[in-house]
Copies of this chain bind each other. A is one copy, B any other.
Amino acid sequence: MKGSIFIVSAPSGAGKTTLCRRLTDIVPRLVHSVSYTTRKPREGEVDGKDYFFVDEDAFMRMVGSGEFLEWAEVHGNLYGTSRTKLFEIIQEGVDVILDIDTQGAAQIRQRGVDATFVFVLPPSLEALSERLRSRKTDSEQVIARRLDRAREEISDYRLYDYVIVNDRLDVALNELGSVVQAKRLHISRIDHGWVKQTFGLKGDVS
């Protein structure tokens, strides 16, 4: 049985990355997709684990060869998801979370990729602004730009299948976990061969 793809988008500062990484830590057979990026590594980020860090030339060659299922420019940096790596994961029956922005999600949707789309909202714009400030890595000007962009991104939330409000991390984590677990119980994920054999059912099994 093939794994499922979960697309998780949120304005920056909504806590999306923490949420996704905590979930992959506790849920078996669920992994976090590693994106390619031209962004410089932040302190503590590891190449091949947090991102594959590449320069712009290398990135654009991959774009040219159609290697990216989606790619986008965010705050002046390029981000992309490798098609080959993603399909290798789900072929093994493992589920994968793509932590990507609304532009990237739109490309995946337009390509008709079978995926579950989840939007993470902050509890309020004030909470978002506080979180961006507490990060202490960005200047006030960068924060103001991010807040503008956040409202733009939020306006796309209706294109998603599920919406989670990240007020308390433990609650949001449980909710995102429910979306993943429900997908695993969906009829499209059931091993029909097992049911047929276990209960001696007749008829085709596909």
A 143-156 binary contact with B (CB < 8 Å = 1; else 0): 00000000100110
A1 within 8 A of B: no
A10 within 8 A of B: no
Pair B179/A161 contact, Cβ less than 8 Å: no
Pair B199/A154 contact, Cβ less than 8 Å: yes
A44 within 8 A of B: no
* Interface-located stretch among A50-58, A81-89, A185-193: A185-193
Q: Could you pull out 26 A-B pairs where Cβ atoms are within 8 angstroms?
A: A121-B195, A121-B199, A123-B198, A124-B198, A125-B198, A125-B199, A125-B200, A151-B199, A154-B199, A154-B201, A155-B201, A155-B202, A158-B192, A161-B186, A161-B187, A162-B182, A162-B187, A163-B185, A163-B187, A163-B195, A164-B185, A177-B178, A178-B178, A178-B181, A181-B182, A182-B183
Task: Report the interface size class on chain A.
Answer: 20 to 34
Given contacts A125-B200, A195-B157, contact A185 B175 (CB under 8 A): yes
Copies of this chain, count? 2
Of listed A163, A182, A195, residue having the most chain B CB within 10 A: A182
Interface positions, chain A 93-126, Cβ under 8 Å from B, are: 121, 123-125
Residues of A whose CB lies within 8 Å of any CB of B are 121, 123-125, 151, 154-155, 157-158, 160-164, 174-175, 177-179, 181-183, 185-187, 190, 192, 195, 198-203
Pair A162/B185 contact, Cβ less than 8 Å: yes
Question: Besides A124-B198, A163-B187, 10 other CB < 8 A contacts?
Answer: A121-B199, A125-B198, A125-B199, A151-B199, A155-B202, A158-B192, A162-B185, A162-B187, A163-B195, A178-B178
